[in-house]
């Protein structure tokens, strides 16, 4: 994956910054709606940005040190462990009184849905597949699933903003979780680790004359 062109990494960075900034804005709005002062609302958003940024930076450093690399001799791949741990920490943070107070506000569903729009960044999986860096068995379900959820988030967020809470919201969340589970599951079973249930080969790399700059 390190051989990917700079424009692919720029897409990833844009999605990361966009998601982080949107969540910070939504948290601040939620804190204000919960009756917190402007200073407290800003501190809540800032705390999230610091925690999220520290996790991303740590992941980048660990990835650069090949800690996340799947090895045939490694029984338990560390990447799924890190992702599962991050989700567990996120759930624990919702138990903090201030965060719990924000999430109980009437517009909480809308605040949580808007950042999902940036899941259209899943197109980078398809680009990496086209460049011969990811197998189609992983890139297609993960990429197309993320794109579909990101596009649907636009309409779901609009309906929630208008006060329309129906089955579409429930199905949106169910399908979003399924997309996440499928992507992580395929990444685990197809990776070259000690426990490898699915053996795949990368698509052939594109020739230089057709590669984008």
Alpha helices in 115-165 (DSSP H): 123-130, 136-161
The pTM assigned to this predicted structure is 0.78
How many domains, the chain? 1
Give the pLDDT confidence of 34-43 residue by residue, as tens digits.
Answer: 898 899 999 9
- Give the residue-averaged pLDDT of 141-163: 91
Q: Is residue 1 part of a domain?
A: no
Give the pLDDT confidence of 84-104 residue by residue, as tens digits.
Answer: 788 888 888 888 888 888 888
CA dist., res. 41 & res. 31, Å (int) = 5
Residue 161's pLDDT is 86
Range of the structural domain that residue 160 is part of: 6-206
Residue 182 half-sphere exposure toward CB, CA atoms < 13 A: 16
Q: Is residue 211 part of a domain?
A: no
Q: Is residue 107 part of a domain?
A: yes
């Amino acid at each position: 994956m390190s051989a990917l062109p700079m424009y692919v990494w720029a897409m990833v960075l844009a999605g990361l910054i966009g998601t982080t900034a949107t969540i910070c804005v939504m948290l601040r709005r939620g804190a204000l709606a919960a009756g917190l002062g402007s200073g407290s609302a800003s501190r809540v958003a800032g705390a999230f940005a610091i925690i999220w940024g520290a996790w991303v930076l740590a992941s980048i450093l660990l990835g650069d040190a090949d800690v996340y690399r799947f090895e045939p001799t490694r029984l338990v791949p560390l990447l799924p462990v890190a992702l599962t741990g991050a989700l567990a920490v996120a759930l624990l943070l919702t138990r903090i009184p201030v965060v719990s107070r924000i999430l109980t506000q009437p517009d909480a569903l809308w605040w949580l849905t808007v950042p999902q729009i940036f899941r259209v960044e899943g197109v980078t999986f398809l680009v990496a597949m086209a460049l011969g860096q990811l197998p189609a068995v992983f890139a297609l379900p993960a990429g197309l699933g993320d794109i579909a959820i990101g596009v649907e988030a636009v309409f779901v967020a609009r309906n929630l903003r208008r006060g329309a809470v129906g089955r579409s919201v429930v199905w949106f969340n169910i399908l979003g979780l399924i997309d996440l589970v499928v992507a992580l599951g395929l990444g685990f079973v197809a990776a070259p680790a000690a426990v490898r249930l699915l053996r795949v080969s990368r698509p052939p790399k594109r020739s230089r004359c057709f590669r984008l700059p």
